[in-house]
Amino acid sequence: MPKAGSCLFAIGYFLYTRTRFGRYYHGKDIAKGKEKYNEDGHTIIEPTMFDKLEITPIPIALDNYAYIVMDTESNTCVVIDVGDEEAIMRFLDKMNVIPAAVLTTHKHWDHSAGNAGMRKRYQGLKVYGGYGDNVPDVTHTLMDIEQVKFGGLNFTAIHTPGHTVGHVSYLLDGQALGAPDCLFSGDHLFLGGCGRIFETPPLKMLKSLDIVGRLKKDTLVWPGHEYAVNNLEFACHIEPENADAQARYEWAKAKRERRLTTCPSTIAEELTYNPFLRTDKDSIMKKVTTLDRTDDTTVLVPPDDEMRAQVLAELREQKDAFKYIQ
């Protein structure tokens, strides 16, 4: 992929996000996923159950996740990020459930291409996206901290710009469901990583990462892609002495060898090994070559937001250029 910020990248990105070319390109990824994994998908489908809540990651294309979120008391169902309506409908038909709504984290086709098909199949379906993101085929746009409720499922749309300008992470209130809060973080926060910063300055992404980093520590993180192994390999490269990163990396590799999902993690866990949530740590800053350090010692603590944004931007660049063993 051309470097973000280059002219070639800007043209490609415009075509991907604003034209049918992007839809076509995503269709190719769905076909590649089917060729590689048949109808089974990249990950074995397994629900996580709580008292009155059931969350099922659905594998889409090569590494995307959509999520079926069920309030099992009122039998109300919401789908997050329909990148491929066929995969979702197949699962909903099996469960004999009609969804109450679709929540879309951002406009990229691998998170939204199925919105049109879902609306066609389920008449009157509400499809939500973030204000200012131009998500295809939405019926409602949500402002920052706006709440939407379906049965016992109470979501707050948290604007987390960075990956896209109107990216939303959805926070599900777990209390009434006998579960921890759940964050559906799309391409904002991943297990061990964060999304590429396509549409805002790094400082805005930093502030969005700070928002999710301040959520309750037991909040479960359900990201938009299965990227854990690569992300953690990079995390171990950045902080080789970080035992939490190393242990999580080994754990993730073992999970993926059996085609099991690595979701969810918790905010508390992410804070221990995710380098993009640790831009204030000296061990991370040491790896950033563009920082203007006044001497060789650890004089940069505590770093201000601008300095942390610089760390974040360079970390992201290093990750984009990183050569994975996997």
- Kindly list the residues in this chain that would bind Zn ion in the complex (CB under 5 A): 108, 187
26, 42, 159, 163: which one is catalytic? 163
Q: How far is residue 314 from each of residues 5, 27, 213, 324, measured CA to CA in Å?
A: 14, 32, 20, 18
Sheet holding 220-223, edge to edge: 146-150, 153-159, 168-172, 182-186, 220-223, 265-266
Catalytic annotation, pick one of 42, 137, 187, 188: 187
Q: Cα–Cα distance between 243 and 281 in angstroms, integer?
A: 15
| Residue 95 CB, nearest approach to Zn ion (Å) | 27
Nearer to Zn ion, 198 or 234 (CB): 198
* Active-site annotation holds for 159: no
Q: Is 108 a catalytic residue?
A: yes
Active site residue 188: no
| Closest distance to Zn ion from the beta carbon of 77 (Å) | 24
Among 29, 81, 84, 110, the active-site one is 110
In the complex with Zn ion, the residue whose CB is nearer, 99 or 195, is: 195
Pick 110 or 314: Cβ nearer Zn ion: 110
Q: Residues 26, 42, 111, 167: which is the catalytic one?
A: 111
Residue 84 known to be catalytic: no
26 annotated active-site = no
**Shortest Å, Cβ 278 to Zn ion:** 23
Alpha-helical regions (H) of the chain: 7-18, 20-37, 85-95, 109-112, 115-121, 202-213, 228-238, 243-257, 267-273, 282-285, 305-321
The position carrying tokens 């038909």 is 93
167: annotated active-site residue: no
Question: To the nearest whole angstrom, how small is the minimum distance from the Cβ of residue 252 to Zn ion?
Answer: 21
Residue 140 appears among annotated catalytic residues: no
Q: How many CA atoms lie within 13 A of 292 on its CB side?
A: 2
Q: Which residues are catalytic?
A: 106, 108, 110-111, 163, 187, 225
